[in-house]
Each structure stands twice: as C-alpha cells, then as structure tokens.
Structure 1
Amino acid sequence: MLPEATARALRKGVLIPAHPLALDAEGNLDVRRQRALSRYYLDAGAGGLAVGVHTTQFGIRDAGLLEPVLRLAIETAREYERPMVMVAGVAGTTADAVAEARQASELGYDLAMVILRGLDELTDDQVVEHIAAIGEVMPVFGFYLQPAVGGRVLGFDFWARLAELPSLAAIKIAPFDRYRTLDVVRAVCESSRADEIALYTGNDDNILVDLATTYRFRVGGREVRKHIVGGLLGQNAVWTHRAVEMFERARSGEVSAELLTLAAQLTDANAAVFDVAGDFAGCVAGIHEVLRRQGLLENLRLLDPDEKLSPGQSEELDRVIAAYPQLIDDAFVAKNLDRWLTLEESCVG
C-alpha cells in the first residue's frame, strides 16, 4: 500500500524526472554529482524521482551500482519535507525483478517500474503474471517503452488485463505513438479500476499535448473521462525548472495556440536531446551532454564506452538551445550549482 500522501500526489499528478547516472573520469560512481542531480530536480519542483530506469542506464546492474544509486537518491529526497513519489526500475527475470523490488521497498521506494527489456520470449499472459509477481512485493508502475530503445508492442487486450491487477497504481505511457497511447488510455477507462490508476506520459515527443488532453470514451452507456495527470520522462532530466513551469501550464485546462506552439518547440528540442536522427542511439548521451554543459556533470562518460553522441548531435543541441531560450534553465542551475555540489558525508554511508 502506498502512504496516503504519496497516493494523493501520484493521482493528482507530478513531474518525475528519469534520473541519470554520474560517473567520474575513472568510471566510478560520482557521489557528489549524483546527489547534486537529485537536488537539482527536487529544487526545480519535481514531485519525485525515477531511478534505475533507462536513463539511469540498464548496465548499472552488471556494474553493481543499482543499490548504491537507489540508496543515494532516496537519502537525498529525504532532505525535502514534502511527499515524494519515488519510483525504482526493476528488470530481468521474474526472480531478479522481484528481488530488485524487495530491495527497493526496503530502501523506502514507493513503486516498482517494471522494465520488460530482454523478455521478448514471454507471451502477453506471461508478462501479466511477471508483473503480478512484482506487485506482490510493492505497488507497480506499468511501463510502455517504445520499441526503438528496447520495448515491445503491447496491445489493447494486454493493457485491459493489466489494469485489473490490484497492485497496478500507475502507467507510464511511452510508445511514442498516438495510436498505442490510446490503446492504454481506453483499456484503463474500460476497466473496473479506471479511477484508481494514474496515467503518466512518457511520450517525450508529445509531452504537453498529452498533459493538456481530456480523453473521453463511452463505457457501458456512460462517458468516462481520463487525463494523463503527470509525466515520468527522460526529457525532464534536463531543463527541469522550465519543465515544471510548462507542466503546470499544460495542466491548467487552458489550451491555447501559444501552448501548442510551445509543445512543438519542446518536441523539436527533444529530437536533438534524444537523437531522433540517429535512431535514438545518443538519447542518454544527449541528456548527459546538456547536464555537462550546465556543470551538473563533469564529463560525458557512460557505462558503455560505445554509447556516445551521434555525429551532428552536438550541433543539433547548439541549434535548439539557441532557438528556444524559453526551454532552458541555465540561470537557475548557475544560481544553485555550488550548493547542490556541497556533500555532507553523513548522507553517503
């Protein structure tokens, strides 16, 4: 069960950045900068953190970094006296994912985001069983990850079955596809738990429109309305202070031509950050490069030495940063960076 304050925050909707991984020049966890990133997101107004997910790099498991990274983020979040929605990515076989969920629960995380990467051999029924087993340990954040970065296609029938799991508290919808997004929303609306499941956008290519849209479906002779109430996004791992402002604006209910223009500009900026031209090969590197330019990260080092910016991606970042100053929060970062980088040893033990 979620704590009541956390459940309220989740259902009302918050913005949750997908947390990157800070490494030093030798490839070790950079504790000071890892913690500074968490502080940046939470001071910028994020309502929680998602750790151990795609943006954190799946290789943290092989590198033995999952537990220290999870621990560091939640210890830093406890500096803040407000309800947080803390999400831990869990991956691998059912036994491995259940073990990761137990670890996250013991550390104090609220929800397990189930990563299905590498489980392509499972049928949809087996995937539901896999998620149900994780839900025996802690509440679940479902995850529709786009195939371009390791996800799989999951149809309406899958989401209809999953929505009936009592442990399913929320779904991150991230297929980068309007048709598949509608599959998830309609399945939840037609389920018996339509009012209990919070929907979050993970469509980094359509953030503001997702948040501003009211979905309406006829179910059993009555109209069911549903909103995507929050965002759990890799894009919001950068320029987070501005992202929170746009998040509140999109949810205000007032959809204007100006907001739609801003939505298109954010999509253009995301194309540079996520390396759409390179088929997303540089998506994590693009996030790191923005943070490096701001001084939050020291370098562009990733766990996989072959993972780097694609040719032309740096120039694309130059272009969108110059074109859309309204999306950029460099002044906010510069004002607070020294404080975020101050590390008390008592918080690392």
Structure 2
Amino acid sequence: MSNVENIEAVTGSLSGGRFIIAGGGTGGHIFPAIAIANAIKELQPNAEILFVGASGKMEMEKVPQAGYNIKGLTIAGFERGSLIKNIWLPFKLIKSFLQVRSILKNFKPDAVIGVGGYSSFPVLRSAQGKRIPTFIHESNSFAGKSNILLGKHATKIFVANEGMERFFPADKIAITGNPVRKSIAGSNISKTEALAFFGLERKKPTVLVIGGSLGARSINEVIARHIGDFNPLGLQVIWQTGKTTAAKYLSKAKSLHNVWANDFINEMEKAYAAADLVVSRSGAMSVAELCVAKKPVIFVPFPYAAEDHQTVNAKYLVDRNAALMVKDDMVRTRLFNEITNLAKDKAKQEILANNIAVFAVKNADEKIATSILKTLAGSKN
C-alpha cells in the first residue's frame, strides 16, 4: 500500500490542511524542512504550507527557491562572545512572539512543525499555548534545549536515533531517520555529467570538501594551505568554503584549473556524484546525506557541538569501518595526508562506501509526513 493510500485509509480522501514549518539558520535545518514540506505536498497536494524563519538568515533565500512562502522573525541567538550584542535580545524575543501571534492568527494552521533553529521556539511555544498540534524533528543524537522544553507539550517527536527517551517522553517518540533531499536520495546523475558541471576532468580523482553552509575554519585553513599541492598529485577539488570569510579562501583557488570553489553548492547531488571521496563535518544531516550518497568520507567533527555529538556521530561509523575521522585538533598535521592516502587507495574507498551505504535512510521525509497527517486525521475522527 502506498503512502497516499495509507492516508486515504484514515481520512477517506485527501483534504488539504494548513501547516507552518518553523526553523532554519543552517542547511542542516532548512533542507530537511523542505523535504518534509515536499512530502506533505505529495501526500496532500492541496495542503497550504508556510515557513517561518529568522530574518536575515539562510532560510529567507533557500525556502523561496524551493517554491514556498516564508515569514521572517526579528530574532537572534545568544552571543557568547559579546555581552553588548545581547542587550537587545529580550526585546527581539518579545517582538518575535508578537510577530508569531499575528502569523498564527492570520494563517490559522492545523499543525506546526519545528525543525530547530532560532525561530522554532517562539512559533511552537505560541502554537502550544493555543493548543495547536505541534511536531518536532530532532536530527541530532543530543537534543537541543529548546526542543527538550517544547517536547513536553509536543504531539509527536521525530528522531533519527534510539535512546532519545532521555530527552523526550517515550510515548511521543517516533524513530524515522533524518530527511534527505529528494534530489540527493533519488539522484541518477552520472559522474561524467557531474564533473562537466564543475568544469573538471573525467580521469582525475576528485575530492569534495564541505564544511557546512557557514564553513569550517579548521578544514578550510588546511585546504587553503595545500591548495597548490593537489594538482601535482593528480587530484582535483570541489570546495564549498561556506559563507564565513569566503572571499579569503576563494581568492586562493581562483587561478587553479583543478579546483572548483564557491561559498555554497546549490546542486549537492552533482557534487556527490562527482566526488571520489569527501571531507566533511559530522553533523546529523551531513552524515545522513553521505550515507545515502554512498561516499567514502573523512569526518572532522566540530569540537564545540553540544555534548560533542559530532564526534559521537562520526565514531559510530568509524567503529563500523564505514568512515575515517580526524579530530579537529589534529587537522593541521593529519588531514592532508589522510586525504592523499585515501585518494590513492581504491580498495579502501570501496570498503568505506559499501559500509556507509548500510546506514542510508531514503524515506524519512515520507515517514514524518505520513505520521503527521495520520495523527491529525485521527484527532478529527
């Protein structure tokens, strides 16, 4: 039975619905949110979906590109390095709650879905105060504080890992995995086509370097230092520098024919198709995509993630011979050698690719959308 038939078995027919999806800040929140929205639209084509994000953040650009409307809130996170910048934080928070009140009143959602990020908390908290069903997607193995607070009154909580009962009520948890963009999960792009897109050669091994949408300083510094060393070794590079200090790094690669560099890669399915190996942080969404893309990867966990969960993510795969890892404090001395060694070792690449593919989940978005729609349908019957 298809998902559409599953929904019809509960509702009798597809009947639209109004949904707010709140959150963002990084690609790790935005792209799963868009995947969930797309899955809801596939199951209920008449559904109306509105995104709510933080003004000035990445979601204000990426969500409209995906074909959805978005409202921006005047909200920001706590700046640990500057107390002065936090003076206006309480006022921004109050203003964001007032903005959310207006959005809820005008849009009248049947449900609100939170994916993490600054805007997620005021939207879900306000919805819960109005007894609107709320759903949370927690991508990480260590839940954020906002989601923990919201989880107490959430209708259902979707998680990627077992053991999340330490953060959320056990009876509200559904293990679904993390949603991966359909463009990646269903990609059939050939390596030749992908390399042509980046203007690179077909016969050279290709290293994909991705530090997330904002960039990874330690990774970028190593790549920048060795950017001229790849060509003599017969290697070529696709380098997503991230937004932070992008100009500094892009200038290093500008004149090199064996390097494609940009602050962001819009068509990641092509980057994965072109790559022979990947260097990446080990955030939950990066891990999910790499499992689906079936790529040998060297993880460099972000050391300041809550409870060091990026190291936990990477170690889980390293212990199963499904990835390699270089700790952030060892990047300067080890990363470039690890890249060149893996680039030469086709047998190791194949082992890592086959082993990481075992952990791929391609339909998490459908599982989440189906569960939300069934829950809402059940509450109305």
TM-score normalised by L of structure 2? 0.29
For the pair shown, which has the larger CA radius of gyration, 1 or 2? 2
Q: Using CA pairs below 8 Å that are at least 6 residues apart, which structure has the higher relative contact order?
A: 1
TM-score normalised by L of structure 1? 0.31
